[in-house]
Amino acid sequence: MNNVEWFDFISEVTDDIITRHTLGGLFLQVSRKAITSFGYPLEEIISQSPYSFIHEDDIAVVKNNHTFLINERKSEWVKYRLKCKNGDYLSLQSYGKLIHSTLDPLGYEIILYTKILDDDDFEKNIGDVFQMTRMSGDDETLSQKYKSQKKRADKSFHHHTLPIPYNTEEEIRILYRAINSSTNGITVADCRQPDMPLMYVNPAFEVMTGYAIEEVVGKNCRFLQGKDTDQPSLEILRRAMLMAEPVVVILRNYKKDGTLFWNKLELAPVRDSEGVLTHYIGIASDISSEVISRNQISELNLMLAETNDQLRIERDREREYAKSLEKINELKDDFVSSVSHEFRTPLASIIGFAQTLLKDNTISEQLREKFLHIIFNDGKRLARIVEDMLDIARIESGKSTLFKETHDIVAIVKDAMSAFTYDKEKNTNPLIFKTNSSIIALECDRDKIIQVLLNLLTNAQKFSPPDEEIIITLAEEEEIVHIKIKDNGIGIHTDDIHHVFEKFYRVKHPGQEIRGTGLGLPIAKNLIELHGGTISVVSTIGHGSEFIVTLPKRVHE
Amino acid sequence: MSKSILLVEDEESMQVLLDYVLKSNGFVVSLAQNGRDALDLLQTTVFDLLCTDIMLPEVNGIEVCAYARKNYPHLPIIVISSKSQEKEIETALNEGANDYITKPFDVDYLLKIIKKYL
Ligand SMILES: Cc1cc2nc3c(=O)[nH]c(=O)nc-3n(C[C@H](O)[C@H](O)[C@H](O)COP(=O)(O)O)c2cc1C
């Protein structure tokens, strides 16, 4: 499980305030309890700095603890006051830990556990809560370390960027000093040159391997493997590099004098501001002293492989997500263009006739009336399109409600059929109604059922050649009724059939385009489901489609 | 002599509008309800101008354009369509249309364009 999933799970089951943060403190995720306690909606918290919510008198103590947490990987308990949405301050006590970020194996993030204190408790203890214990090392490098880690963390949500845009020469100098004084071997390789030569190694690398910087710059780092280039973990490394993904592996490497050492290598791709891969940065640690046997190594490598797999899964998921977003956008674009098309035709008629009526005073009384009728009808058509769009909006926001009464469904189907034939003057498809029942009592919202039937009839007609029959069958069982609407039209392709109830989805036919907003069927499906029923479709290309609506006679609340 | 126009349009209100507007401006109008009828009419009758929609049942307007352009290189073709994306306009022009008018349109503008080609 990655951090996000894990946190989602915890957040669901816990009644505690748990929050996830970037190293710099920005909220990444919060548990349900945090939302209910603080009163802010999610979007007002996520990506915000907690400092904008903390009582100004408490900011210093929290910041201290924050720095401590970064350096020590876990914090002390710290007490502070947080301003809630309603303006009140809530007294809190938090404890934090650093955990590895799932997205970036080199990065960390913060998990905080927070308790709510009652006010007395808080007053008693304020001020004496926090004793900072410092790591060895002078203040400057400490704060610098924090700063560079923070920058790294902020970046990790996009991608690593090199060179990091440090502002002053002073900052660059300090960063350089930090790299130079690191006890990990740090290497940078240039991906834009053939065979990825090293362009920099730090002194710790020199110490670890026995090679001097002049000997290795310009060479690919595989010289450390000697003849030992057949290690399983190298496969993992190669695969990750092929995908430009970060990776952690343990390698058998050899110092200049030939002695074996176990190298835990963390590799991360570095991209420029356009996202183009330019460098790799490697962090090498000699873990020989921790390593006892080959068995343990293979176990460790196995574990690392799992981590790497998870990284890959995470990345794939992100890509998948990006793809589905793209798809949604495409559907939207299609929708916008088809809606605008739907609007344009009646508008052209309304504007054209109105203009003609205004200018041309030779028009006969009879024609005038005809033109006005067309304007009226096209206006109604526009209103219908708007209605469809509003329906979908209501459905999406869950505001669609039913007014249920007991009706005769036989009569409803007949009413829908006559409304359909009346509405579509030029409709030439004969409607055939088949049923064995003369009356069936059904609890439903009559208008909504008629709307569904009209949508299905319109759909059947749209895909049928003129004069082909549309057959409506109504059958009852003990508890349910089936309404089937069958056409002899062009049929729906198997690729499309799973999508016909998705909104905005419009079946594409080569050489032939069918008008519609792509909303009729999604509306129908939703309304039938609100009635506790189902809707489905079977279809054969060239032979037509049959939509089957099944409704319970009595709705179980 | 009056100029004759082949009007290809499946939408009833548009048929009535264009038929009236063109006739009252002295043109002779033949109407095709779909692309296939248009191809048939083109084979049997001589027209001075072709006016077609794009979204048509069976044979679409682009195919009508292409057919007309191939067989009657000098016939002016005007597309009237509610498709307003550049891609569609480009396709129509590539397939032989001389001009492209998007719905909704100004009746006077339409007449001006038609007269320009006659
Ligand atoms: C920045 C960087 C640092 C690397 N550090 C090491 C290292 O310390 N030890 C090692 O065995 N391989 C290291 N490699 C991996 C090798 O350079 C090489 O990519 C690996 O052997 C796979 O490529 P190959 O199949 O062409 O040998 C590093 C690679 C990069 C890009």
Q: Give the per-residue pLDDT at A370.
A: 93
Query: Is the per-residue pLDDT at A164 higher than 60?
Result: no
Query: Based on the number of CB atoms within 10 Å of its own CB, is A47 exposed (0-12), middle (13-18) or buried (19 or more)?
Result: exposed
- Range with the lowest mean pLDDT among A156-170, A282-296, B69-83? A156-170
Which is higher by pLDDT, A255 or B57? A255
Q: Tell me the chain A residues in contact with residue B102 when contact means C-beta distances shorter than 8 Å.
A: 344
| Phi, psi of B38, deg, nearest 5 | -60, -45
Q: Give the per-residue pLDDT at A516.
A: 59
Work out the average pLDDT over A407-435: 84
Tokens read off for A481: 């009724």
Q: How far apart are the C-alpha atoms of A506 and A495, rounded to whole Å?
A: 12
8 A C-beta contact, residue B25 and residue B111: yes
Q: Give the per-residue pLDDT at A555.
A: 66
Query: Is the per-residue pLDDT at A135 higher than 50?
Result: no
The verdict on whether omega for the bond into residue B73 sits within 30 degrees of 0, i.e. cis, is no
Buried b (16+ CB within 10 A) or exposed e, B52-78: bbbbbbebbbbbbbbbbbeeeeebbbb
Buried b (16+ CB within 10 A) or exposed e, A2-27: ebeeebeeebeeeebbbbbbbbbbbb
Residue A303's pLDDT band, with cuts at 50, 70 and 90, is confident
Q: Give the per-residue pLDDT at B73.
A: 92
Report ipTM (2 d.p.): 0.92
Q: Give the per-residue pLDDT at A546.
A: 95
Q: How far apart are the C-alpha atoms of B111 and A407, rounded to whole Å?
A: 55
Which is higher by pLDDT, B12 or A23? B12
- Range with the lowest mean pLDDT among A73-77, A425-429, A442-446? A425-429
- Residue A221 CA to ligand 1 center (angstroms) comes to 5
Give the nearest partner residue to A347 out of B24, B60, B104, using CB atoms.
B104
CB of A285 within 6 A of ligand 1: the answer is: no
Residue bearing the CA closest to ligand 1, atom 27: A222
Beta-bridge partner residues of A472: A433, A485
CB of A251 within 6 A of ligand 1: the answer is: yes
Minimal Cα distance from B22: which residue of A?
A356
* Mean pLDDT across chain A: 80
Residue bearing the CA closest to ligand 1, atom 12: A222
How many angstroms separate the CA of residue A373 from the nearest CA in chain B? Answer: 10
Tell me whether residues A356 and B57 touch, CB distance under 8 A: no
- Set out the domains of chain B in order of their start, with CATH numbers: 4-117 (3.40.50.2300)
Residue A1's pLDDT band, with cuts at 50, 70 and 90, is low
Q: Degrees (nearest 5) of the Cα angle A540, A542, A548?
A: 40
Interface of A with B (CB under 8 A): 337, 340-341, 344-353, 355-356, 359-360, 362, 367, 370-371, 374, 377-378, 426, 511-513, 515
Minimal Cα distance from B25: which residue of A?
A360
Query: Is the per-residue pLDDT at A541 higher than 50?
Result: yes
Query: Is the per-residue pLDDT at A127 higher than 60?
Result: no
Give the nearest partner residue to B103 out of A344, A362, A377, using CB atoms.
A344
CA–CA distances in Å: residue B49 to residues A364, A466, B38: 28, 29, 12
Residues B50-65: pLDDT tens digits?
Answer: 999 998 877 889 999 9
CB of A282 within 6 A of ligand 1: the answer is: yes
Which is higher by pLDDT, A81 or A272? A81
Full-prediction pTM beyond 0.90?
A: no
- Residue A220 CA to ligand 1 center (angstroms) comes to 7
Query: A271-279 long-range CB contacts below 8 Å, 24 or more apart?
Result: A271/A159, A271/A160, A271/A161, A272/A161, A272/A162, A273/A161, A275/A159, A277/A191, A277/A244, A278/A162, A278/A190, A278/A191, A278/A192, A279/A162, A279/A188, A279/A189, A279/A190, A279/A191, A279/A199
Tell me whether residues B13 and A346 touch, CB distance under 8 A: yes
Q: How far apart are the C-alpha atoms of A482 and A410, rounded to whole Å?
A: 11
How many angstroms separate the CA of residue B13 from the nearest CA in chain A? Answer: 6
Residues A517-526: pLDDT tens digits?
Answer: 668 898 899 8
DSSP 8-state class, residue A289: G
Q: How far apart are the C-alpha atoms of A453 and A245, rounded to whole Å?
A: 53
Q: Give the per-residue pLDDT at A327.
A: 78
Tell me whether residues A513 and B107 touch, CB distance under 8 A: no
Element at A534 (helix H, strand E): strand A534-540
Give the nearest partner residue to A355 out of B14, B58, B107, using CB atoms.
B107
Which is higher by pLDDT, A414 or A325? A414
Q: Give the per-residue pLDDT at A545.
A: 93
Tokens read off for A253: 């490497």
CB of A189 within 6 A of ligand 1: the answer is: yes
